[in-house]
């Protein structure tokens, strides 16, 4: 099983990235999108995905 953590600072690009992985046979790991503010004012979006 493969496992990746996807990340992006732009929400639209993040959603496109996750959608592309889903369309290529990956599934959401836990189905949770996490947002982290690293202190410089930018949000960073993370999503774990898996593929058998």
pLDDT at residue 34, rounded to an integer: 66
pLDDT in tens, 5-51: 999 888 899 999 999 999 999 999 975 566 677 677 677 888 999 99
pLDDT at residue 33, rounded to an integer: 62
Cα distance between the two ends of the chain: 4
pTM: 0.79
> HEC profile for the chain?
CEEEEEEECCHHHHHHHHHHHHHCCCEECCCCCEEECCCCCCCEEEEEEEEC
In whole angstroms, give the CA distance from residue 7 to residue 38: 13
Domain locations in the chain? 2-51
pLDDT at residue 44, rounded to an integer: 80
């Amino acid at each position: 099983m493969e496992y990746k953590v996807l990340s992006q600072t732009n929400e639209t690009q993040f959603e496109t990235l996750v959608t592309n992985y889903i369309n290529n046979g990956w599934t959401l790991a836990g189905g949770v999108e996490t947002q982290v503010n690293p202190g410089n004012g930018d949000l960073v979006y993370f999503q774990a995905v898996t593929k058998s």
